[in-house]
């Protein structure tokens, strides 16, 4: 097998690998390298260069280069506060910085005072909430069934499956949390379908941690 035949295999292998990469930046970088290898192969190996294929590969390289420039400019503009950095590193580490920034843009920081209800059993849950600092009591049927702490969500089951709150969530002490309106979140995911898997993975992981064998039917996050 000649060096030029190897370049052909490299081109197709890189295209296949790029489909497995979650980060769009690396996908585009791999695609550029694959196109470059394809240009070498289609110029050298055939009896005469396949110019149609070569020109299309050059076009792909230009398109990917343009989008890489946009991605790098967008990522360079990302600047998180200390609170946001902590949430990103502890809860949203599967997100890209830009994806997390987009989530923050549709969210609000709020503070619940002691005894203040955050959700009420049987009522609509308009937001998905993430506790940043504080302590929340989960009350179902008049009895406390759980307590939620930093890094845990409130209302994620309502977002995933729909329906009203199955429990009342009440702050036990001053609690600072990130509030994400569900309507905003749905719009964000419709505009950015690639984020949908990451969002559902984060919410599902949090929900799974809350469930115990005894409480398998009690979804304390609502």
Question: Residue 104's domain is classified under what CATH number?
Answer: 2.60.120.10
Do 61 and 43 lie in one domain? The reply is: yes
**pLDDT score of 102:** 92
Domain final residue pick, 76, 100, 119: 76
- Which pLDDT does position 75 carry in this prediction? 74
Structural domain includes residue 217: no
Confidence of residue 3 (pLDDT cuts 50, 70, 90): low
| Domain co-membership, 100 together with 194 | yes
Statement to judge: residues 111 and 87 lie in one domain: yes
**Residue 108 parent element (H or E):** strand 108-112
Q: How high is the pLDDT of residue 103?
A: 94
Beta bridge partners of 176: 111, 133
Amino acid 214: pLDDT: 34
The confidence band for 54, taking pLDDT boundaries of 50, 70 and 90, is very high
The whole-number average pLDDT for the span 11-33 is 83
65 and 90 in one domain? no
Average pLDDT over residues 39-62: 92
- 95 and 61 in one domain? no
Computed over every residue of the chain, the mean pLDDT equals 87
What is the spatial distance between Cα 210 and Cα 222, in angstroms, rounded to a whole number?
A: 11
For residue 220, being part of any structural domain is answered with: no
pLDDT of residue 151: 93
Residue 127 lies in domain: 82-210
Whether residues 181 and 97 fall in one domain: yes
In a domain, 218, yes or no: no
Q: With a cut of 70, say whether residue 49 has pLDDT above it.
A: yes
Q: How confident is the model at residue 220 (pLDDT cuts 50, 70, 90)?
A: very low
> Is residue 109 located within the same domain as residue 180?
yes
Does residue 160 sit in the same domain as residue 134? yes
Do 31 and 137 lie in one domain? The reply is no
The more confidently predicted of residues 222 and 106 is 106
Domain assignment of residue 48, yes or no: yes
CB count within 10 Å of CB 68 equals 16
Per-residue model confidence as pLDDT tens digits over 161-186: 888 998 999 999 999 999 999 999 99
If asked whether residues 110 and 198 sit together in one domain, one would say: yes
Q: Nearest CA to 130 among 167, 181, 96? A: 181
Q: How many domains does the chain have?
A: 2
Q: Which of 76, 96, 127 is the last residue of a domain?
A: 76
Among 3-17, 72-86, 134-148, 195-209, top mean pLDDT goes to: 134-148
For residue 185, count other CB atoms closer than 10 A to its CB: 18
Q: Compute the average pLDDT of residues 84-95.
A: 89
């Amino acid at each position: 097998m000649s060096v030029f035949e190897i370049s052909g295999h490299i081109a197709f292998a890189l295209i296949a690998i790029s489909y497995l990469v979650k980060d769009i930046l690396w996908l585009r970088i791999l695609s550029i390298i694959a196109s470059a290898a394809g240009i070498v192969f289609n110029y050298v190996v055939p009896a005469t260069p396949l110019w149609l294929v070569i020109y299309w590969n050059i076009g792909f390289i230009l398109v990917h280069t343009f989008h890489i420039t946009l991605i790098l400019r967008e990522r360079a503009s990302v600047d998180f506060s200390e609170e946001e950095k902590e949430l990103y590193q502890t809860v949203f580490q599967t997100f890209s910085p830009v994806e997390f920034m987009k989530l923050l843009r549709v969210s609000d920081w709020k503070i619940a005072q002691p005894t203040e209800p955050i959700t009420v059993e049987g009522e609509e849950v308009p937001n998905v909430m993430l506790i940043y600092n504080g302590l929340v009591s989960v009350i179902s049927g008049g009895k406390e069934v759980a307590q939620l702490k930093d890094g845990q969500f409130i209302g994620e089951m309502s977002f995933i499956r729909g329906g009203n709150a199955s429990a009342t969530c009440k702050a036990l002490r001053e609690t600072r949390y990130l509030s994400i309106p569900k309507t905003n979140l749905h719009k964000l995911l419709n505009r950015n379908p690639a984020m949908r898997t990451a969002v559902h993975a984060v919410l599902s992981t949090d929900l799974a941690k809350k469930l115990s064998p005894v409480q398998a039917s009690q979804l304390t996050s609502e």
